[in-house]
Structure 1
Amino acid sequence: MNARLATLALLALAAAAAVAGEAPVSREGVGPYFRLAVPPAIYGLSIRPALDDLRLLDAQRQPLAWAWAPEPAADTDPLRQDLPLFPLPDEARPEAGLPASIRIGADGSVLWQAGRPAPPAPATPARRWLLDAHGARGTLLSLDLQWQGSAQGVFPLALEASDDLRHWRPLNPEAAVLHLERDGQQLHQAEVALDAAQARYLRLTWLGQPLSLSRATVEHLDQRLPAPVLQWTPPRPPDRCDERACTWALPPRLPLDALRLDLAEPNTVAVVRLSEPAAPAAQAGPFRRHHALHGLRHRHAGRSGESPAPHDVEVWQGVLWRLDLNTASSSDASRESRQPVIALDGRASPSLRLQARRSTREWGATPPTLAVGSRTRELVFLARDAGPVRLAWGDPQAPGQPLAPSELMPLGRAGTPSPASVSLPALAFPALPLEPAAAPASGARADAGHMPWLWAALAAGLLLLAGMAWSLLRSTREAPDGAGH
């Protein structure tokens, strides 16, 4: 009950805090069409989740026509394909290219050199592996790894991408897979995000203990989609913690496209569960769908072996880690591996709760920090002249009424719209406590101690009803005797 009341209070405060405002729009180029990136702070300023109160005004304060810029969409379902694996010998340095036993076929496939048999499996797992992904055309979504043996732990790795096996670029320098068993339960994570990569070849380097790979399967789209561009909030400590969990209050209606959870202390591993309140949260309008790639990556979100509590909804479950990878021979004194970015589906929530498996002491004396990544929403507007333009919001009597892109550009897209920009007030984080620190010692309801304004509102309502009843009764008594005949 307390969590639901706190959620309603947060939403009420967010609605009260949203007031009408304006900000100047800077333009570059000649137009007449301009593309404006609206920062995520607009969700806390607007009075409507769908942002349909936005307006663009010219120098005479007349509204300008505008439309939401089209967003990429996945035309097909993801495909899965096994990748050929090639262990690289330790003596083959990254800058030395391919070893002599490997050649490239006419179609781009990686093959063992003719006349030379495939080398036997080494006595110890290879530290570097070459993965042939030339057949997985389009956009690479994720890589699923299988390995031999029953090793347990967190195994950090780095991924690189190349199109010619000569020039390599970083792809995912802080990835990891893991396998943990305890008290009859297992936690297995073998998937690595590929961040919408488009590459013919991948190179995997184990940063800690190497594993002997037996299979690698890539999930990809048979089309090219760009990765979402995110804007991040500053890392924040939790608003409150107890023995089992920490809770963060979030800016109102801010879409959650990605999260960064960073542990404060090195060489720390914690099994956690991230959830949001079950009470309805302010959702974005019908235009605000999650990014196509994030939706595909997390179409099974919320399914886990652990049953969620009845008062919340699971967002993510996994392992947080911060591992020191320094060795005696390491030349990089600050090399670490951390939990990578968690991609979400663009939902909006008033708060997030990070629950430890047993106790928050599992992540040390200092709790983790949380940063929220939200992709920038873009709109296109048509300017009448070179005069100043302002972005306005918060007026319920003057809705923005965006057009469809085909309506805004009836002649089709004539080139690329010129860039425009706007600066908005910073995101506002609610300061309201989300949960009581502890149950009251007496048998009184916790709601009364933490929500006094609810009782004040109830008392005021009762007084108003009593006054109305007394006024009605008095008027009835003072009526003439024959009034009722």
Structure 2
Amino acid sequence: MRFFCLILALLSCGALLAESPRELEKGDFAWGIQLEPGTGSPLYQLPLPLAVYQGVSRADLGDLRLFNGKGHLLPHELSLPTLQLPGRERRQPVALFPLYGSREADLQLLSMRISRSNPAGSMSLEQHQIQRTRDEVLRGYLLQLWQGDQRPAIQRLQLHWPEPPQGFIQRLKLEQSDDLDQWRPVAVPAVMADLAYAGERLVKAEIQLNGQTQRFLRLTPAEGDMPLELTAIDAVMIDSSPPRPQEEAVIETIHRGEQAGEYLFEIPGPLPVNRMDLLPAEPNTLTRATLYSRATVDAPWVRRSQGTIYRLLLQGTPLEQTALSVGRVNDRYWRLLVDAAGGGLGEQKPLLRVSWIPHQLRFSARGEGPFLLAYGSVLAGPNLPGSLLSGFSQSEQQRLVSEQITAGQAFALAGPAALTPQRVYDWK
């Protein structure tokens, strides 16, 4: 009897010891990535690699740890950068001059007809009203984008026209010059369009310049005549910090759902997705699309985004709108529903591309390297919230943290065995 009680006591202690928490080791994780610092900084920061999202078992990224060369745990934290806020736009009307002439007239002569030399010797445009004769047609427009010596970084041009009685789509030809004598093409696709579809108005009235252009711009139809007269053109400048670099991944496996126009797919891990691009496989596709997502296979679907998707080809020039903004969602399972009444996306499956801004991983470089980023473990619990640099000013944080660190290729530690829960028996 006394021996039986002793066995029960030992089993009870063993159960308690098995349930008591212990410090995690490298062998408790499935995968690892070696980190090589480039400077002698006390802290390092790097964007979380895609392999980590693919290998963790927790949606909150709690099964992630940092180790130094001796296998000791290092303090770390994860932060999710704020989505890039749209910069403040400045709009400035540009001088707009119609080019009237016969269909055989030289555009160079039409451009020089409305130009003059200023006292500084450079060319500018006359500000008088230009009238056309009875036999002349509208060949295009000459734009003076700015005056003076300071060259602004114009991101795009915004075209304005009255609502037309019927839809149109027109490919444009852009040429630029600083002296109205030597002209060279602008290598950007330019299309203006105003179409009606399913009770909605589809307008393409922007020309992207991305800051690269000269003082004068000549805008003419690639072929044919201008579909209508423009009322004004605005140059749009954006005052903002450089956009955060985004990561992208293509969804290769897409399944057709039971419903017409339904597609089901998964993303590779708990990525903080903020945008999806739906690229129809067949050209000249225009449809209405809705995105849904859920965290688990049995959770209800939640609508994330909705919009009109089109991918049109006008004489070799693409006209497309493929982006669906979803805010920021890390759900694993997704559902795409398109309007099947108008043909949907055609017979071929679409191409889906997800975009996200990765978490920033910051850790203390305590001890000797090389440092190891280990992830994927059923034994790891969530990390306690906190900041490694609380109490430091912004300038001090910039001096303490270095981004000069290189992440190697992912390799196996314990492998998939670290992701398999161990069966625990209650011997009592």
TM over 0.5: yes
**What's the CA shift for 1:320?**
1.1
Counterpart for residue 353 of structure 1: 336
**What's the CA shift for 1:355?**
0.6
- Aligned counterpart for 1:216 among listed residues 212, 227, 233: 233
Point out the structure with the larger strand share.
Answer: 2
Counterpart for residue 459 of structure 1: none
**What's the CA shift for 1:255?**
2.7
1:140-173 CA-to-partner distances (Å, cap 9, x unmatched) read: 77654323544524445688999999999978x3
The answer to whether the aligner puts 1:85 opposite 2:96 as a matched pair is yes
Which ranges in structure 2 are unaligned for 5 or more consecutive residues? 1-28, 412-428
- Aligned counterpart for 2:194 among listed residues 179, 202, 226: 179
1:256-292 CA-to-partner distances (Å, cap 9, x unmatched) read: 33333323233x2312223224x5789xxxxxxxxxx
> What one-letter code is carried by the residue in structure 1 that aligns with 2:291?
S
**What's the CA shift for 1:238?**
3.1
Cα separation, partners in 2 of 1:104 and 1:43, compared to 1, 3 Å: farther
Name whichever of 229-238 and 404-413 sits farther off. 404-413
Q: Is the 8 A contact 1:55 1:399 kept in 2?
A: no
The alignment yields a C-alpha RMSD, in angstroms, of: 5.2
Alignment of 1:303-382 (within 5 A): 313=303, 315-323=305-313, 325=315, 335-340=316-321, 342=323, 344=325, 346-348=327-329, 349=331, 350-356=333-339, 358-359=341-342, 361-382=343-364
Q: Is the 8 A contact 2:307 2:324 kept in 1?
A: no
Counterpart for residue 373 of structure 2: 391
Q: Is the 8 A contact 1:272 1:356 kept in 2?
A: yes
Q: Is the 8 A contact 1:72 1:225 kept in 2?
A: no
Which ranges in structure 1 are unaligned for 5 or more consecutive residues? 1-18, 283-309, 326-334, 427-485
Bigger-Rg structure (1/2): 2
Counterpart for residue 260 of structure 1: 277
The answer to whether the aligner puts 1:413 opposite 2:408 as a matched pair is no
Q: Is the 8 A contact 1:248 1:352 kept in 2?
A: yes
- Aligned counterpart for 1:189 among listed residues 203, 206, 210: 203
**What's the CA shift for 1:391?**
1.7
Q: Distance in 1 between matches of 2:401 and 2:106?
A: 50
**What's the CA shift for 1:324?**
5.3
SS at the partner of 2:73?
Answer: coil
> What one-letter code is carried by the residue in structure 1 that aligns with 2:200?
Q
> What one-letter code is carried by the residue in structure 1 that aligns with 2:320?
Q
Aligned residue pairs, count: 360
Q: Distance in 1 between matches of 2:260 and 2:327?
A: 29
The answer to whether the aligner puts 1:239 opposite 2:255 as a matched pair is yes
Q: Distance in 1 between matches of 2:365 and 2:179?
A: 45
1:39-59 CA-to-partner distances (Å, cap 9, x unmatched) read: 345344445555465443221
Q: Is the 8 A contact 2:288 2:339 kept in 1?
A: yes
Q: Is the 8 A contact 1:53 1:399 kept in 2?
A: no
SS at the partner of 1:234?
Answer: strand
Q: Is the 8 A contact 1:37 1:377 kept in 2?
A: yes
TM-score (norm: length of structure 1): 0.56
**What's the CA shift for 1:25?**
1.5
Q: Is the 8 A contact 2:251 2:267 kept in 1?
A: no
Cα separation, partners in 2 of 1:220 and 1:234, compared to 1, 3 Å: same
Q: Is the 8 A contact 2:191 2:207 kept in 1?
A: no
TM-score (norm: length of structure 2): 0.62
> What one-letter code is carried by the residue in structure 2 that aligns with 1:234?
V
Q: Is the 8 A contact 1:110 1:132 kept in 2?
A: no
